[in-house]
Amino acid sequence: MRQSLQPSRSPADYDFVHRVRTRFAETDAMGIIHHAAYLPYLEEARVEYLRSIGHPYDVVRSGGVDVAVLEAAVQYRKPLRFDDEVDVSLGVGAVTRTTFQIAYLL
């Protein structure tokens, strides 16, 4: 993997916070939020972050720029459960001419 960003565990190190509430549809038979459901949480936080800095993602896209996800790496530290409200902290780093990395902390 080319991923180089090491997400800090301190929320204070992040630029932006977006709160999500987990859905029942995202739970699994272990009674927790299924691990695949986190990537849409991160995406939702990313979209809100872009809006907050004046670059709504639909405007970005209608301008002809699609932002493809090249890599994703998640460490599941503790389970989320149904109806949990959780703050997704987000910080941008490791910017190159064609790529950037975003660190998230839940």
- The binding site for its own copies (CB under 8 A) comprises 1-3, 23-32, 34-37, 39-40, 43-44, 47, 56-58, 61, 66, 68-76, 79, 81-83
* Structure token pair of residue 12: 């204070």
For the bound state, the minimum distance from the C-beta of residue 59 to its own copies, rounded and expressed in Å, comes to: 9
For the bound state, the minimum distance from the C-beta of residue 11 to its own copies, rounded and expressed in Å, comes to: 19
Amino acid identity of 9?
R
12 versus 68: smaller Cβ distance to its own copies: 68
For the bound state, the minimum distance from the C-beta of residue 95 to its own copies, rounded and expressed in Å, comes to: 19
* CA 53 from centroid of its chain's CA atoms: 16
Considering only CA atoms, which of 2, 17, 6 is closest in space to residue 93? 6
Coil, strand or helix at 99: coil
Give the whole-angstrom CA distance, residue 40 versus residue 1. 21
Among 13, 28, 83, 84, the one annotated catalytic:
28
Active site residues: 28
